[in-house]
Amino acid sequence: MKKINIDEELKYIEKVNEINKGKTLKYYILTMGCQLNENDSEKLSGMLEKMNYKKTLNMEEADLVLFNTCCVRENAEEKLFGKVGEVKKQKENKGTIIAIGGCMMQEEHIVNKLKQSYPYVDIIFGTHTLHKLPQDLYKALEENKKIRDIIDIDGEIIEGLPISRNDNIKASVTIMNGCNNFCSYCIVPYVRGRERSRNPKDIIEEVCSLAKEGYKEITLLGQNVNSYLRVEREKKIEFEEYEGVNSFATLLRAVNKIEGIEKVRFVSPHPKDFTDDVIEAIRDCEKVSKIVHLPLQSGSTNVLKVMNRKYTKEQYLNLVEKMKKMIPNIVFSTDIIVGFPGETEEDFEDTLDVVKKVHFEQVFMFIYSRRVGTPGDRMENQIPEEIKHKRFDRLKALVESQIKENNDKYIGTIQRVLVEGTSKTNEEMLTARTDTNKVVVFEGSKELIGNMVNLKIISEHMWYLKGELTH
Ligand code: SAH
Ligand code: SF4
Ligand code: F3S
């Protein structure tokens, strides 16, 4: 495993801090992507805070504005260009530094557009140069340069960056980067590079220190978490086994043992990599959540084949059945794309059929979005927008009808939950999440925040449940 040496970057943190000493400076960060992107933002924030910037939620008062971008679907592009246009005035008035990073910056046509139409942007960096923000910022501040710091590299891991986390009960831990699957609709493998896993020791140590700081819930992150260390094993890339960890299943078992941690979640696994050892680990580890995210994408074997997902409708359903047999209280959430090129009415009905059969707790639904450079974009049989939208609405109606049925099953049950905070809409109420990720609102003292409690579920309200404290 090749770790990037960040000593030089740490020195740049000092240098920028020297320049910024004594000033009151604020940064604003907008995270546009997934949980991995969110975790990257926590690292960017960590570096900025070490360079004397304090976080603000108000873009207008910021001395440095940072957009951490996503490009998995189309709508993000409009949003980014809109925002970059918005800060132009602010830059002219008070010299605000504008930095843009993340997945979209690995797309050449986007960077070209920025260079042409938004030349005032100070720093552009990609997914492989996130750790160089201090150096890029130093050059922008000291040398008044426009920095374009994007590279294509593979197989390297960054450890030891400062981090400023968004929450003090729940924490995300990225366990692997990149993706080797090349699903034909997806841009991620092109912008995040090849799959590479972190060393077991670095992950375990990070979780242990989070537990010491009082964190209760850990989410292990990666584009394909259940192939953790697979590439390293196959290619005989050296890694240090630590506390018996040499696979995703053994990692789950090791994290489950860490004292102080109450709940362990993970996203996203790939159905094709759901080996028995992983299912057994979920079954055996009491802290590992019994809701499993199992991205379906399509219920049609034909579409799945063109998507390059490497499983059929039947294999997916068999996997669900097998997991239900091995873990009686297990439930599932999923991701579905409607309107992939060539999807027929019959194919779409197969998707509805799987949704009916599995009864997902949560379905993240997406309308297919063409991504430049992917095989899906080059296919000729694109589905008209109108049909895509109609199918989307039909899927949504089915999913919503199932949510109520699922919710009804909770009424009268006792759920052991982690109390997360006060309700956003009513300060007097507390919120918690069941093991299966359902929000429960209940009355209780604020001192319970961060603790596990038992709640009796008394009613359902579509997007949340109501409960009361019990023993
Ligand atoms: N690696 C994860 C998540 C990838 S992105 C996984 O494999 O599950 C999150 C979700 O976005 C995907 O699961 C997919 O449903 C959706 N998605 C990805 N590319 C898309 C595209 N081009 N159009 C619409 N949805 C897409
Ligand atoms: Fe994209 Fe497929 Fe990789 Fe997920 S597994 S990131 S959907 S290519
Ligand atoms: Fe988006 Fe990059 Fe995540 S494309 S979904 S931010 S990996």
Q: Is residue 142 in a domain? A: yes
pLDDT at residue 153, as a whole number:
77
Q: Tell me the residue range of the domain where 465 lies.
A: 414-469
Q: How far is the CA of 37 from the centre of ligand 2 (A)?
A: 15
Ligand having the closest approach to the CA of 174 = 3
Domains contained in the chain, number: 3
Distance (Å, whole) CA 449 – CA 340:
43
pLDDT at residue 155, as a whole number:
67
Distance (Å, whole) CA 471 – CA 27:
45
Measure the CA dihedral 5/7/13/18, to 10°.
Answer: -160
Return the structure tokens found at 230: 């697979």
Q: Pick the last residue of a domain from 362, 388, 408.
A: 408
pLDDT at residue 81, as a whole number:
96
Q: Are residues 237 and 383 in the same domain?
A: yes
Considering the entire predicted model, what is its pTM? Answer: 0.95
Q: Is residue 161 in a domain? A: no
Q: Are residues 177 and 221 in the same domain?
A: yes
- For residue 99, what are the contacts with CB-CB under 8 A and spacing of at least 6? 64, 65, 66, 67, 121, 122, 123, 124, 125, 133, 136, 137, 140
Minimal-distance CA residue to ligand 2 atom 4: 223
Q: Is residue 144 in a domain? A: yes
Residue that has been written with the tokens 């960590």 in this structure: 46
Distance (Å, whole) CA 150 – CA 110:
12
pLDDT at residue 144, as a whole number:
86
Q: Is residue 20 in a domain? A: yes
Q: Are residues 36 and 139 in the same domain?
A: yes
Distance (Å, whole) CA 94 – CA 84:
15
Residue that has been written with the tokens 């093991």 in this structure: 435
Distance (Å, whole) CA 212 – CA 258:
10
Q: Is 295 in the pocket of ligand 1 (CB under 6 A)?
A: yes
* Ligand 1 binding pocket mutation candidate from 190, 332, 366 (most atoms within 8 A of CB): 366
Q: What is the pLDDT along the chain (471 residues), one digit of tens a residue?
A: 788 889 999 999 999 999 999 999 999 999 999 999 999 999 999 999 999 999 999 999 999 999 999 999 998 899 999 999 999 999 999 999 999 999 999 999 999 999 999 999 999 999 999 999 999 999 999 988 899 999 887 768 999 999 999 999 999 999 999 999 999 999 999 999 999 999 999 999 999 999 999 999 999 999 999 999 999 999 998 888 999 999 999 999 999 999 999 999 999 999 999 999 999 999 999 999 999 999 999 999 999 999 999 999 999 999 999 999 999 899 999 999 999 999 999 999 999 999 999 999 999 999 999 999 999 999 999 999 999 999 999 999 999 999 989 999 999 999 999 999 999 888 899 999 999 999 999 999 999 999 999 999 999 998 999 999 998
Q: How far is the CA of 181 from the centre of ligand 3 (A)?
A: 15
Minimal-distance CA residue to ligand 2 atom 2: 183
Q: Is residue 429 in a domain? A: yes
Minimal-distance CA residue to ligand 2 atom 5: 181
Atom in ligand 1 nearest the alpha carbon of residue 335: 15
Q: Are residues 394 and 269 in the same domain?
A: yes
Whether 91 contacts 118, CB under 8 Å: no
Return the structure tokens found at 213: 């700081």
Q: Are residues 134 and 188 in the same domain?
A: no
Residue that has been written with the tokens 């077991």 in this structure: 200
Q: Pick the last residue of a domain from 390, 408, 426.
A: 408
CA distances from 463 to 170, 406, 426 (A): 21, 11, 15
- Here the CATH number for the domain that contains residue 73 is 3.40.50.12160
Whether 269 contacts 279, CB under 8 Å: no
pLDDT at residue 471, as a whole number:
84
Q: Are residues 140 and 251 in the same domain?
A: no
**What count of Cα atoms within 13 Å lies in the side-chain half-sphere of residue 277?**
13
Q: Is residue 391 in a domain? A: yes
Alpha helix ranges (H) inside 338-384: 345-358, 375-378
Number of neighbours of residue 404 by Cβ within 10 angstroms: 11
Q: Pairing mode, if any, of strands 439-443 and 465-470?
A: parallel
Q: Are residues 456 and 394 in the same domain?
A: no
Ligand 2 proximal residues by C-beta, below 6 Å: 179, 181-183, 186, 188-189, 223-224, 270
Q: Are residues 227 and 369 in the same domain?
A: yes
Ligand having the closest approach to the CA of 68 = 3
Atom in ligand 3 nearest the alpha carbon of residue 71: 4
Q: Are residues 74 and 118 in the same domain?
A: yes
Q: Is residue 327 in a domain? A: yes
Helix pair 108-117, 75-94: axis angle to 10 deg? 30
Q: Are residues 350 and 423 in the same domain?
A: no
Return the structure tokens found at 27: 């940064």
Q: Is 221 in the pocket of ligand 3 (CB under 6 A)?
A: no
Atom in ligand 3 nearest the alpha carbon of residue 187: 4
Distance (Å, whole) CA 323 – CA 347:
25
Q: Is residue 261 in a domain? A: yes
Whether 294 contacts 319, CB under 8 Å: yes
What digits encode the pLDDT tens for the residues 239-265? 889 999 999 999 999 999 999 999 999
The dihedral built from the CA positions of residue 432, 434, 439 and 442, taken in this order, carries a sign that is negative
Q: Are residues 389 and 435 in the same domain?
A: no
Q: Is 457 in the pocket of ligand 3 (CB under 6 A)?
A: no
Residue that has been written with the tokens 């899927």 in this structure: 395
Q: Pick the last residue of a domain from 382, 408, 434.
A: 408
- Here the CATH number for the domain that contains residue 201 is 3.80.30.20
Q: Are residues 194 and 249 in the same domain?
A: yes
Q: How far is the CA of 163 from the centre of ligand 1 (A)?
A: 27
Q: How far apart are the two ends of the chain, measured CA to CA in Å?
A: 48
Residue that has been written with the tokens 């094709």 in this structure: 272
- Here the CATH number for the domain that contains residue 437 is 2.40.50.140
